[in-house]
Amino acid sequence: MMKKISRRGFVKWSLIGGTTGIFGLNGAANRTWAALLPTPDEAEGPFYPVHRQNDKDADLTHIEGHRSSADGQYIVVGGQVRDTHGDPVAGVTLEIWQADTDGRYHHPYDPRAVKRDEDFQGWAILKSNERGEFHFKTVMPGAYPAGRDWIRPPHIHFKISKPGYRELTTQMYFPEQALNQKDLLLQQKSAAEQAAMTAKHTGQQGELIVYEYNIVLIAAR
């Protein structure tokens, strides 16, 4: 169990460090990243949130009104949304959901008997800023069985939308995870697509492990 940094500390980090400082995002000077390959689509999965909740902010490690915070290794994920020409896309809605540290979703149809972490928010809805940047604090999601001889690696679900762009549903994976090499979904992708769907470990901010995950949207026709 690791209860890392308070929500106040996370907000302070956001204001002082920001996405530009920790993730190295600097507008036009950074336009060569990922060859502007559109972020690949991926299955929504069976555990898209179905229950309404009041707290859907960028800190998934703490639910408003709870005295305790989520269990697990705390991380920050941030990046930038661009179009295929390399231009930042502001005002994008990013919907994010994931399993808790034990691989349990906040979903009534998750069949496993593992007790869910009632202090883990599990779902967030964010907006990219004027530079297309976003970031959120969460826990490293746990792996979980998805079928016979299939263990899903740690991953985070994204649904990304803005008028004028094709809606994207995808999954973000973590680097250096042995289960990535056996995942039935990820292994259907090309090497370039797998790279585009895998976050980069960019270091540490205090006790928070930091990952960068950039997203490329396709303009609607």
Total structural domains in the chain? 1
pLDDT in tens, 153-162: 999 999 999 9
**Which residue's structure tokens are 């069985």?**
145
Instruction: Provide the pLDDT for residue 24.
Output: 60
Whether 47 maps to a domain, the answer reads yes
Instruction: Provide the pLDDT for residue 7.
Output: 52
Q: Please check the confidence at residue 68 and state whether its pLDDT lies above 60.
A: yes
Coil, helix or strand for 118? coil
pLDDT in tens, 3-62: 444 554 544 445 334 555 566 665 444 544 444 899 999 999 888 887 777 889 999 999
Instruction: Provide the pLDDT for residue 22.
Output: 61
The one-letter code for the residue type at 85 is H
What is the rounded CA–CA span in Å between residue 70 and residue 99? 12
Contact of 139 with 119, CB cutoff 8 Å: no
**Which residue's structure tokens are 């991926």?**
42
Instruction: Provide the pLDDT for residue 121.
Output: 95
CATH of the domain at 134: 2.60.130.10
Q: Please check the confidence at residue 2 and state whether its pLDDT lies above 70.
A: no
Look at strands 208-212 and 74-83 and give their pairing. Answer: parallel
Contact of 96 with 126, CB cutoff 8 Å: yes
Whether 28 maps to a domain, the answer reads no
Average of pLDDT values for 98-115?
Answer: 86
What is the rounded CA–CA span in Å between residue 206 and residue 55? 25
Whether 196 maps to a domain, the answer reads yes
Whether 2 maps to a domain, the answer reads no
Structure token pair of residue 15: 């204001």
Instruction: Provide the pLDDT for residue 36.
Output: 82
**Weakest-pLDDT range from 14-18, 59-63, 142-146, 180-184:** 14-18
Sequence-distant (6+) residues with CB within 8 A of 9 are none
Whether 140 maps to a domain, the answer reads yes
Whether 1 maps to a domain, the answer reads no
The one-letter code for the residue type at 42 is E
Whether 50 maps to a domain, the answer reads yes
Average of pLDDT values for 183-200?
Answer: 97
Domain of 164, in residue numbers: 7-23+33-217
| Strand partners for 212 | 78, 200
Whether 191 maps to a domain, the answer reads yes
Average of pLDDT values for 147-169?
Answer: 96
Average of pLDDT values for 82-108?
Answer: 94
